[in-house]
Amino acid sequence: MKIAVIGTGHVGLPTCVTLSSLGHEVAGTDANAESIALLSRGTPPFHEPGLDELLEQQAASGRLRFSSDIADVVPGAEVVFICVGTPPRSDGRANLLAVELSARDAARHATGPLVVAEKSTVPAGTAARLKGLLARERPDVEFEVVSNPEFLREGSALADSLRPDRIVIGAEAEWAFEMMRRVYEPLTRKGSRLIETDIATAELAKHACNAFLALKISFANALARLTERAGADMVEVADVMGSDPRIGRAYLDAGLGYGGSCFHKDLLALQRVAEDLGTDFPLLREVARLNEEAIQAVADKTREALWNLEDKRVALLGLAFKPETDDVRFSPALALAQRLLRQDARVVGYDPRASANAKAELPALEICVDPYEAAAGAHCLVLCTEWDEFSHLDLARLKSLMAYPIVIDGRNLFDGNAMRAHGFTYYPTGRRAVVPDRAAT
């Protein structure tokens, strides 16, 4: 099939390479001409495991191309996927301007019956608006809008979109369902579950998934405050809870809280959807508040461990909002850095991929080239993002470099016994601290 993708960011680009690898002819475009120039040369504009290889492979197949000119992309397409950003406005509502402009562009360049598929996360009711807009722009063309939300996670985006656990299609007209079945046939043939529903249900289901995942994380973080005080172990509590298939173990890892562009924005947007529909959903506000509390808890632990923060060097390991990405949007590590900087600590950080983005976002943060440079002279080290390389650190070397051997583990990555054996004072999250007998702090 001929497919156009508008928006080649963290959702749109994996969508392009996935659809192309399913055998479709895909053309991608983006308002960011620099990003399209990179893509046309075969270079992904952000880090995502496996993306370089798949992009190269699909470009070589001749099925995947990019252009900054929408007029090169939409004509001839049977389906246009809208994958542009929907950032929060100051009142929390999703800003849908880019979605509207994309739909207008799609209408202007449509050459035949066209399915416009929303992949951007949008509030319930958006498809209805788009349908009206498309009909006004081009009364001569038959359009159907479908909601086809994306459930991919950054860091495992390709695996998630090449082997999705579900494909959700919300539509009205049978021909639009049929078109979308054809798009995903290579995946449904291999067993991916296809859920067909109405448009509002599909739109709302996406918000519901992200809000519920955020809720699980905030629940674990609230419980971690409790287990710390009770002398209990949050990781084991989560294991016990997770053994119940009705609960499940995923997203019960307590720590520095959730980050990334999706959970924050979708929680806010869902609150506004609820308000706009005349109902209140205060639980969502509490989920967000508990996430702030999780970051503050680590800031408080740092201050508690170091007494006065002025002129103390705090080394942050991991700056990306999660491992395997260079994305620092709403990164808990940077939120923590800001809080520590406000208290006049000297904050340095290291990340395997996200250092440049972190520096651009927070210029006051000193960037180090490796974990050991970060640790040198540090009075405290805070593990913020659980990159795999941090599980293999030379703990003896780390300790010999630090001014004070204090480690705060915002992701429960380190092993308490190893920390004890190396003489660290160690504060995990929701678990018992390791405090050597002779530790003065």
Which residues does the annotation mark as catalytic? 262
H helices then E strands: how many in the chain? 16, 14
Does position 64 bind ligand UGA by CB under 6 A? Answer: no
For 16, other C-beta atoms within 10 Å of its C-beta total 30
Stretch of 105-113, 182-190, 226-234, 255-263 lying at the interface with ligand UGA (CB under 6 A)? 255-263
50 vs 75, beta carbon nearer ligand UGA: 50
CB distance 214 to 291 below 8 Å:
yes
Give the count of residues interacting with ligand UGA (CB under 6 A): 21
50: left (phi over 0), alpha (psi -120 to 50) or beta: left
255 vs 352, beta carbon nearer ligand UGA: 255
Q: Tell me the closest approach of the beta carbon of residue 151 to ligand UGA, in angstroms.
A: 4
Does position 46 bind ligand UGA by CB under 6 A? Answer: no
Stretch of 29-37, 146-154, 240-248, 345-353 lying at the interface with ligand UGA (CB under 6 A)? 146-154
The residue within the footprint of ligand UGA, chosen from 25, 118, 144, 154 (CB under 6 A), is 154
The residue within the footprint of ligand UGA, chosen from 131, 153, 181, 399 (CB under 6 A), is 153
Binders in 193-222 for ligand UGA, by CB under 6 A: 210, 213, 217
The residue within the footprint of ligand UGA, chosen from 12, 44, 255, 428 (CB under 6 A), is 255
The residue within the footprint of ligand UGA, chosen from 143, 177, 219, 258 (CB under 6 A), is 258
CB distance 381 to 411 below 8 Å:
no
Does position 372 bind ligand UGA by CB under 6 A? Answer: no
51: helix, strand or coil: helix
**Can you give the three-state secondary structure of 348-415, one letter per residue?**
EEECCCCHHHHHHHCCCCEECCCHHHHHCCCCEEEECCCCHHHHHCCHHHHHHHCCCCEEEECCCCCC
**Can you give the three-state secondary structure of 142-178, one letter per residue?**
CEEEEECCCCCCCCCHHHHHHCCCEEEEECCCHHHHH
The residue within the footprint of ligand UGA, chosen from 251, 275, 373, 416 (CB under 6 A), is 251
Stretch of 12-20, 165-173, 195-203, 260-268 lying at the interface with ligand UGA (CB under 6 A)? 260-268
Binders in 295-354 for ligand UGA, by CB under 6 A: 321-322
Distance of alpha carbon 209 from alpha carbon 54, whole angstroms: 28
Strand runs labelled E in 171-324: 193-197, 313-317
Does position 150 bind ligand UGA by CB under 6 A? Answer: yes
Does position 252 bind ligand UGA by CB under 6 A? Answer: yes
Distance of alpha carbon 335 from alpha carbon 349, whole angstroms: 13
